[in-house]
Structure 1
């Protein structure tokens, strides 16, 4: 597949999942559903149900402190990337509508203080030493 289309569908899948937890979700959902209704009406009901279920799953994963929350969101992104890729492969004109959807609904901004969680564990015994850092570390031993 064309690298531009691949990048477009990857961005669309990631953006869709990111928007599942925003106030604009219903509008985004309607726009995505419209894409299927216009091009593959026989799949529209299944896409409608999938959007509803995936939004609930994304909300649960986003609110959860469970370690598999990131995995669930990554799976949803991959799933929607594949859905968009198949739609655009079958209906190339859908790429323009997908670009318009991304222009109308950009992904939510990432909080400036959002940083990945860091957990470090170390054990030293005897005369062993442990040096751990979440960022830069400079050690001068004499």
Structure 2
């Protein structure tokens, strides 16, 4: 799996419990609309449902559920990038500008390390 997809999925789930969620959500839906317009409304609905699940997981102190939800979105981002790897630059920008800033410092450091690994891998190509 592409590291940028892993970082984006993880950050998306983390962002859902933050005050920055409305902007982050709008950016992700707009990204999806540009990449696959026919799926954007479904993604918007899925994100609303996912947010409720993430908030419930946090309230129940269930990190396993949060990881599982992040895994679902990591896969969705991966599937979006697979036919058009050029989208990874735009996804990285959304991650760095709108998702990662909403995270707690420890989560942000983990995402930064993943993105750094991805950049190094890309530079070696």
- Normalising by structure 2, report the TM-score: 0.77
Tell me what 1:108 maps to. Answer: 103
Q: Which runs of 5+ in 2 are unaligned?
A: 107-125
**Which digits, 9 at most, give the CA deviation of each residue in 1:56-82, with x for residues without a partner?**
1000110114xxx22210111100000
CA RMSD, aligned part only? 1.5
Distance 1:101 1:81 in 2: 14
Tell me what 1:81 maps to. Answer: 74
Aligned counterpart in structure 1 of residue 15 of structure 2, from 16, 19, 24: 19
Q: Which runs of 5+ in 1 are unaligned?
A: 112-142
Distance 2:90 2:59 in 1: 31
Distance 2:71 2:46 in 1: 14
Q: CA deviation at 1:20?
A: 0.5
Higher relative contact order (CA 8 A, sep 6+): 2
Larger radius of gyration: 1
Distance 1:26 1:60 in 2: 18
Distance 1:46 1:90 in 2: 19
Distance 2:59 2:14 in 1: 13
Distance 2:89 2:105 in 1: 26
Q: Please say if 1:61 is aligned against 2:54.
A: no
Tell me what 1:30 maps to. Answer: 26
